[in-house]
Structure 1
């Protein structure tokens, strides 16, 4: 594996673990489902959006930085991939094991 590819894979794995850890911690601390938390706290819309969608602006910045700042571009691309991977992992592995469904809902 090329060093740049290794760095991309590593940043993807690390960011996936971090984002999923934050997601699980938030769910444990909220004491209920995401829908109940949204109803109870009325958070701003940016907190209600699946974190997969945050990968879009991060990927755009990664693409813009890739040639001029390749290390930053790779790191941000890894973060973008990590956001997507964490959301998919959460909805298709963690939630089915934890609550018995994927938890996909729309406000």
Structure 2
């Protein structure tokens, strides 16, 4: 049976080792690796994503709102957000 060589399951049940053929399992593993590599490349070339997520998490943990969805909607639609992110990107570029 095809055994996944990487990325063990994160859920409560083990892999269904008979669900995929060896070829299908190899293709799936290759797809996962390529997808992770593309995602990492994207994140490296777009520092604003880390700034957005990090800023949101920081504010979320500092304020601890009772309604996280409402807080998130307010945070990501704030009119000053784009300017603040641009400023942080420029600050990071100056440091490096």
Q: Same fold (TM over 0.5)?
A: no
Please report the TM-score for the alignment, with normalisation by the length of structure 1: 0.29
Structure 1 or 2, whichever has the larger Rg, is 2
Higher helix share: 1
Please report the TM-score for the alignment, with normalisation by the length of structure 2: 0.32
